[in-house]
Structure 1
Amino acid sequence: MSRTDTVSPTPPDDRTAIPAPPVAEGGWLRPSASAPAEARWGHPDGLQIGLHPLPGPRGLLRVYTPYLDHPRERLLNFIAIEPIPAGGRERGYSELEHSDLDDAPGKRFWSADGMSDAAEPADPLAPSRGLIGTADGVETLTVHVVSERFANGAAVAVRLRFRQDRPHEVGIATLALPGSVPLHACVITATMGNYARLRRLHLADGDVTPAGLWPGFSGTGFTEHGAFGLDRLPRNAAGEVEVSATTDEADPSSATYGDDVAEHWKYSGLRAVQTWIAADPDPEVRALVNARAAYWASSAAIPNGSAFENVELVEPFRQGREFRFRVEPAR
């Protein structure tokens, strides 16, 4: 059972209008029915996902967590889409590749209520409102986010699903589109752990840290990936894999920064636990992390040392496979 709403087209003479903010209705946050509108979905007081042209680079999902005492425009993390063709190991990069549609940095994303209307690029200022339905007797809000084709031939989309009983979580399922090359994997990676200065990855046999994995690391690049197989990944009571990352700072909002650190890197709000969840994990599932000692695109040192940047779960590709991303206030 589902219902949807039609988004009003944007009149040609109204393209310079300020996009309408999302509206809270029926327990959900959804784009306005009148374009131009911000592309932002989720829980009015819980986790929300947004798309460009909201602030930030193109080719990334924006993760908003207002319940961490964040202002409306403050995001906690980004999520990138990085497909790997079958027979290869090189990823496509939704954030870093240039668009074939306009040659600007970042792959273009657009929203759709279902895959039947997802083939052609849609106006980012006339986003789909999403479908309200039910799953396991719980009301849900579902929207699809489609990427333009990657340079490696991958054509993919993700399905975002919010549940009323999980206000701090979103399900993200990966889908190969018609005409895509076969896929080895379609990685969805949380890309901005440096903002929260995540330094503890909680595994079944104890925590690991950047300092322990890459002692003495410095410079302005990334470390190599640290990889952890199924035998090291924690399980919850339902048998699902749950891999969480946290900061090691008691109050990250009170850190002392160098003069060269940009304002957008300075953490505000409550401490949080960021978690990837995989039901029915594949035997080959791995948790992957890398780290940086300096903030992205700068030489500005991260206070108190290296922190994890990308945190992800990776499995062999399965059509419609869903991982869940959850952000809870730290206790």
Structure 2
Amino acid sequence: MIFIRRLSMIGLQLLFLLTGTQALAVSQNGDGQWLRPKDPQGALIWGRRDGLIFGLPSPGGIRGPRGLIRVGILGKSSSEPELINFIAIEPVTKGAGSRFSRMGFSELEMSEMDPGKRGKRLWVATTEGKLTRLPAKPQPVERLSVRIEVEPFTANGAHVYVVASIYSDRPHELELAVHHHDNSAPIEELTVTATMGNFERLRHLWLKDRVVDSRELFAGYTDDGFVDKENYRRDEMLMYGDGDALVLATTNEDNPSGVKVTERPSWTYRSINLTQYWRVPARHIQPDLRVKVNGRRVYWASKVTIPGGLSFE
């Protein structure tokens, strides 16, 4: 699922509070809920005990391919990180040709910094990130921000970085702000993409006046690749609060972790039933804001059919 915008958010509504973890250090300042890496050479995971965590490819970190930001939660019983989704960085440069031909793909492009490896390198210069106290009522709000550097894109010349932030009063949301460096090719869209909706098997897309079911939207599709159709404009999205744009995606299953993918165990979802959503604050909405979704019949890089039918990728 894609929001094409300069600033986007992905969040998860959780129905319980999370306990601590043995893999991460708790910050000695702040409200005691922050999780930050112990060792710059170890697991790179940041976030909240009572909400979301996010991470980068690293020894002992959250599993997954290169070139992707990991998003997850801490397990209720194990206190270990549980993967929920991935975020890819896919900037679009200005120029001739189709939008697709001008996109960069952080997960798929070969790395020049690490020859022979697929996926752009993601790294941080400051391991702990920056914890800031912001004035607010009835009490101050804390913000943890982590600047994530992205290896320059070869295909389109884009050079960008991402600032990922979590606020103590919204621990279940991860704010993603994408910026370009001065030496970047001219940018048309600074796009971030959630790439693994079929892990939880998200099949319901909640818009303003209807719920779109992936099995109906992509009915009749029998191939093994990606399938997509129309975009959804701003006036088709839900409105939240003071005019924020909001769209939600949910599974149609009561217990997605109860389904075992025996042919490819890594695709077995192990966390709780969650609502995943994108929200763009009203002050950041641009006229061309839109939602784009695609779907899959089989899991990525396999011939394994997704249990229960097509789901949103």
TM-score, length-normalised on structure 2? Answer: 0.83
Is residue 29 of structure 1 aligned with residue 35 of structure 2? yes
Inter-partner Cα distance in structure 2 for 1:302 and 1:233: 27
Name the % identity: 38
| Gap change, CA 1:73 and 1:235, over 3 Å in 2 | same
* Number of residue-to-residue matches in the alignment: 273
Aligned residue for 2:312, secondary structure, equals: strand
Is residue 111 of structure 1 aligned with residue 130 of structure 2? no
| Gap change, CA 1:179 and 1:239, over 3 Å in 2 | same
1:161-240 paired onto structure 2 within 5 Å = 161-240=165-244
What are structure 1's unaligned runs of at least 5 residues? 1-19, 114-127, 310-331
Give the residue type in structure 2 aligned to 1:65: I
**Contact 2:208 2:237 (8 Å CA) reproduced:** yes
Is residue 74 of structure 1 aligned with residue 82 of structure 2? yes
Shift of 1:182: 1.0
| Gap change, CA 1:70 and 1:249, over 3 Å in 2 | farther
Partner of 2:104: 92
Inter-partner Cα distance in structure 1 for 2:242 and 2:78: 31
Inter-partner Cα distance in structure 1 for 2:235 and 2:135: 30
Partner of 2:247: 243
Aligned residue for 1:199, secondary structure, equals: strand
1:4-23 paired onto structure 2 within 5 Å = 21-23=23-25
What are structure 2's unaligned runs of at least 5 residues? 1-21
**Contact 1:201 1:243 (8 Å CA) reproduced:** yes
Asked which structure has the greater RCO (Cα within 8 Å, sep 6+), the reply is 2
1:275-314 paired onto structure 2 within 5 Å = 275-280=277-282, 281-309=285-313
Shift of 1:305: 0.1
Shift of 1:206: 0.5
Aligned residue for 1:79, secondary structure, equals: strand
Partner of 1:143: 146
| Gap change, CA 1:68 and 1:208, over 3 Å in 2 | farther
TM-score, length-normalised on structure 1? Answer: 0.78
- 1:191-219: CA deviations, max 9, x gaps? 00010000000000111121222211122
**Contact 2:75 2:82 (8 Å CA) reproduced:** no
- 1:163-207: CA deviations, max 9, x gaps? 111111111001001200111101111100010000000000111
Aligned residue for 2:149, secondary structure, equals: strand
Give the residue type in structure 2 aligned to 1:30: R
Give the residue type in structure 1 aligned to 2:162: V
**Contact 2:82 2:271 (8 Å CA) reproduced:** no
Shift of 1:238: 1.8
- 1:78-100: CA deviations, max 9, x gaps? 00000000135131000000101
Aligned residue for 1:231, secondary structure, equals: helix
**Contact 1:79 1:191 (8 Å CA) reproduced:** yes
Partner of 2:46: 41
Inter-partner Cα distance in structure 1 for 2:269 and 2:43: 24
Aligned residue for 1:49, secondary structure, equals: strand
